[in-house]
Chains A and B, each alone.
Chain A
Amino acid sequence: MNRLTVMRRLDTRLLLLALPALVFFCAFWLLPMARLAQVAAGGPRGIAAYAAVITDANYFSSLVSTLLLSIAVTLVTLVIAGIAGLFLGRNTFFGKRVLVSMLTFPLAFPGVVVGFMVIMLAGRQGLIGSVTDTLFGYPLVFAYSMAGLFLGYLYFSIPRVILTVMAAVEKLDPALEEAARSLGASPWQVLRDVVIPGLKPALISAGAISFATSMGAFGTAFTLATNINVLPITIYTEFTNYANFSLAAALSLVLGMITWIALAIARTLAGSTVAAAA
């Protein structure tokens, strides 16, 4: 048996091993997605359905509010989780393990449960409401609105970003900061010029994941109120309440493109390390 035959046999074997997963993927994802694209273009608007998210004022406002919400969630999460993650990655102290396991627990919560956590905090019988009622005689209730959704997506994203930042901090080279300090840099300068650039790949990838989940998430909004004006809810309503299949299909494909592009850009910017993170 010569070398070429051996190679060819290996290739055939590898192809056979990969085949079941590829067949499954084609049958249950690629083909259905192709149908989705076809249905999207086959409605009364034709191919223009894809542009409806920009041309139709209702969908456009839904898109804009979803984008603004997701950007705000991403930025606030990066600041909060950046501070906490940097602190936890840098310091060892009594009780740190307890704090870290508290952060890990909510990672497994589905969006519906996150929504319920928001209701527990800011709902009609929530903590914030009863505290403000006792203090000011007026219960502050904001769970069932965009503000509640914002809180829910923070709840969802913060633990993920903290753990990513912690892992990245442990890989930073302390000698660089030492050098910056010995050259007379202030703590703020060290943070701005050494630490944050070092964490940039982790921050970009974690931020992209937080953005993409906030754009496409459905469970939290669904639990809080079904009339919050975000794109996933709009798509759901078009599909189930109005049986407007082509428009729901077009909007969900546009939404999918946005989240996919956000993740792809982050991967390019942050280098190959993000590949393993997603």
Chain B
Amino acid sequence: MSLRSRSRFIAQLAFTVLVCLFLIVPVVLSVLAGLSQNFFIGIRSGLTLRWIVEVWSLYADTIFLSLGIALACLAVTLVLGVPIAYALARKPGRATRLIEELLVLPVAVPGLATALALILFYGEWRGFRGSWTFILVGHVLFTLPFMVRSVLAVMAAIDLATLEEAAASVGAGFVQRFLDVIIPNARGGILAGALMVVTLSVGEFNITWMLHTPLTKTIPVGLADSYASSRLEIGSAYTVVFFVMIVPLLIAMQWLSRDRKAPKMLVDEA
């Protein structure tokens, strides 16, 4: 390596490290704040789990609700998303593209608009409006396109018609073909979609903030609450709990995408 290209390498490396620091330093700070007695004094004040314990007593219900909604959302997106992805993969054409475009609209349009629309349309149905299923509907709208696209990408790459013909020639009916041939062949896409759905559902705020009630608070809603009203240590400890929840999901996602390269999680919300 010449001196010039070496110094160019070092300059670019330094720049990239700086960018990473910008992203990671606040994460480290919030972990420190969540685990130290008094953030203002710093680590010298001693490490403690008391803020985490306090978060648990204040916000445990949000954690359970978020997990419950994420799992329910996964179940619904699997039941709705895998069959429609198959239908779209078997019949590519203009109508198929239009349907794909339509399904992505709740992601392309700000969550605020979707949430307002849901409230104006279903707000009068008090039982539905006040229940967690109202939030679930919002999450399904937002995550369904990710499931469909992920499954569709895998299904489009395999020759479904030939696979099915082979299975049919040995006497397999459609249900059997779907369960024993198609789903196993698409499992990579289903798994990637599932991880994305759960991660996005656990972190969804834009729609959820509008749809929640005092009795149906998810983790991001609780986080917004604690940032606004609690001391910094509690907000930080709550954020640490959130980090701990998403790390396994991210590791699984990275592990899954290792052999498929392209990062899939591109659009979500702020």
Binding site for B on A (CB under 8 A): 10-11, 13-15, 17-18, 20-22, 24-25, 28-33, 35-36, 39, 80-81, 83-84, 87-88, 91, 93, 99, 101-121, 125, 127, 152-153, 155-156, 158-160, 162-164, 166-167, 170, 187, 206, 209, 212-220, 222-223, 232, 235-236, 239, 245, 248-249, 252-253, 255-256, 259-260, 263, 275-278
Contacts and interface: CB of A to CB of B under 8 A. Distances in A.
Contacts of A276: 149, 153
A21 B25 contact: no
B262 A167 contact: yes
Contact of A21 (B15, B29, B84, B246): B84
A17 B23 contact: no
15 contacts: A29-B117, A36-B120, A87-B15, A104-B263, A105-B23, A105-B27, A116-B235, A158-B22, A164-B263, A212-B108, A219-B205, A252-B112, A256-B110, A277-B267, A278-B108
B185 interface: no
B22 A155 contact: yes
A32 B121 contact: yes
Given A21-B144, A22-B99, A24-B80, A14 B223 contact: no
A158 B109 CA distance: 21
A245 B120 contact: yes
B121 A112 contact: no
B269 A219 contact: yes
B250 to A, nearest CB: 6
Interface in B106-129: 106-114, 116-118, 120-122
A95 to B, nearest CB: 9
A32 B83 contact: no
A119 B120 contact: no
Interface stretch (B43-51, B53-61, B67-75, B86-94): B86-94
A216 B99 contact: no
A100 B219 CA distance: 27
Contact of B91 (A14, A93, A158): A14
Contacts of B216: none
Given A83-B15, A101-B254, A167-B261, 17 more contacts: A15-B87, A20-B80, A25-B103, A29-B105, A29-B106, A32-B117, A108-B249, A108-B265, A109-B203, A114-B270, A118-B26, A120-B25, A127-B29, A206-B266, A219-B220, A260-B109, A276-B149
Contact of B141 (A11, A28, A81, A248): A28
B270 A256 contact: no
Contacts of B26: 116-118, 120-121, 127, 155
A248 B16 CA distance: 41
A92 to B, nearest CB: 12
A213 B112 CA distance: 12
Contacts of B224: 112, 219, 222-223
A232 B110 contact: yes
Interface of B: 8-9, 12-13, 15-17, 19-20, 22-27, 29-30, 33, 39-40, 79-81, 83-84, 86-88, 90-91, 99-100, 102-114, 116-118, 120-122, 137, 140-141, 144, 148-149, 153, 174, 199, 203-206, 209, 220, 223-224, 227-228, 232, 235-236, 239, 242, 246-247, 249-250, 254, 261-263, 265-270
Given A112-B220, A213-B269, A17 B205 contact: no
Contact of B267 (A13, A30, A87, A278): A278
Majority secondary structure of chain A interface residues (helix, strand, loop or mixed): helix
Majority secondary structure of chain B interface residues (helix, strand, loop or mixed): helix
B118 A28 contact: yes
Contact of B250 (A31, A108, A218): A108
B270 A29 contact: no
A25 B148 CA distance: 13
Given A18-B88, A239-B116, A259-B110, A87 B269 contact: no
Q: Which 9 A-B pairs have the closest CB atoms?
A: A216-B110, A217-B270, A111-B270, A32-B117, A256-B109, A32-B121, A117-B26, A17-B83, A252-B113
Contacts of B110: 215-218, 232, 252, 255-256, 259
A21 B80 contact: yes
B83 to A, nearest CB: 4
B67 to A, nearest CB: 15
B242 A113 contact: yes
Given A170-B261, A219-B270, A32 B29 contact: no
B227 A112 contact: yes
Contacts of A217: 110, 206, 269-270
Contacts of A160: 266
Contact of A155 (B23, B118, B203, B236): B23
Given A112-B205, A120-B26, A164-B266, A84 B109 contact: no
